[in-house]
């Protein structure tokens, strides 16, 4: 993937491994609870964005497939075994076309 989505990375950081510079003090649980709530909300928003992006991508793929099939029908390419590769499908359709016999050449006499 050439474009990375910022926000979630698989790199181990001090925050993800829960390392703190100060030793834990009693009463710090509220701070940790707050931080975990913020992280959970961020992950939920991220999940919604990814889900929406996935749905849009699937719809676009379906539209492209429909246009692809229309163009194949217009050109006359038949895909009997489900090839989605245009080169393979075109070679199959060329093989399926009837070959016309070559016509004899007509000659003309030109007097100068």
Classify residue 79: in a domain, yes or no: no
Classify residue 48: in a domain, yes or no: yes
CA 69 to chain centre: 18
Classify residue 37: in a domain, yes or no: yes
The predicted structure's pLDDT at residue 76: 78
Classify residue 64: in a domain, yes or no: yes
The predicted structure's pLDDT at residue 106: 81
Neighbours of 88 (CB within 10 A): 13
- pLDDT tens string, the chain, 112 residues long: the values are 445 556 656 666 656 666 666 667 777 888 889 989 999 999 999 999 999 999 999 999 999 999 988 888 888 776 665 555 556 555 655 665 556 667 777 888 888 7
Classify residue 67: in a domain, yes or no: yes
Q: Give residue 61's domain range.
A: 26-71
> In whole angstroms, what is the distance from residue 83 CA to residue 79 CA?
6
Classify residue 100: in a domain, yes or no: no
Per the CB < 8 A criterion, the answer to whether 83 and 92 are in contact is: yes
> In whole angstroms, what is the distance from residue 44 CA to residue 17 CA?
20
> In whole angstroms, what is the distance from residue 85 CA to residue 89 CA?
6
The predicted structure's pLDDT at residue 2: 44
Beta strands in the chain (DSSP E): none
Classify residue 42: in a domain, yes or no: yes
Classify residue 21: in a domain, yes or no: no
The predicted structure's pLDDT at residue 59: 94
Compute the residue count for the chain. 112
Output the DSSP codes for 24-43: P-TTTHHHHHHHHHHHHHHH
The predicted structure's pLDDT at residue 49: 94
Split into its structural domains, the chain has a count of 1
């Amino acid at each position: 993937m050439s474009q990375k989505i910022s926000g979630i990375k698989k790199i181990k950081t001090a925050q993800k491994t829960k390392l703190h510079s100060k030793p834990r003090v009693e009463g710090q649980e509220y701070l940790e609870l707050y931080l975990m709530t913020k992280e959970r909300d961020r992950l939920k928003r991220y999940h919604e964005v990814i889900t929406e992006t996935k749905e849009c991508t699937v719809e676009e793929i379906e539209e492209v497939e429909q246009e692809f099939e229309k163009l194949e029908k217009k050109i006359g390419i038949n895909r009997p075994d489900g090839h989605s590769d245009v080169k393979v499908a075109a070679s199959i359709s060329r093989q399926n076309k009837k070959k016309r016999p070559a016509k004899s050449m007509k000659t003309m006499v030109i007097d100068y």
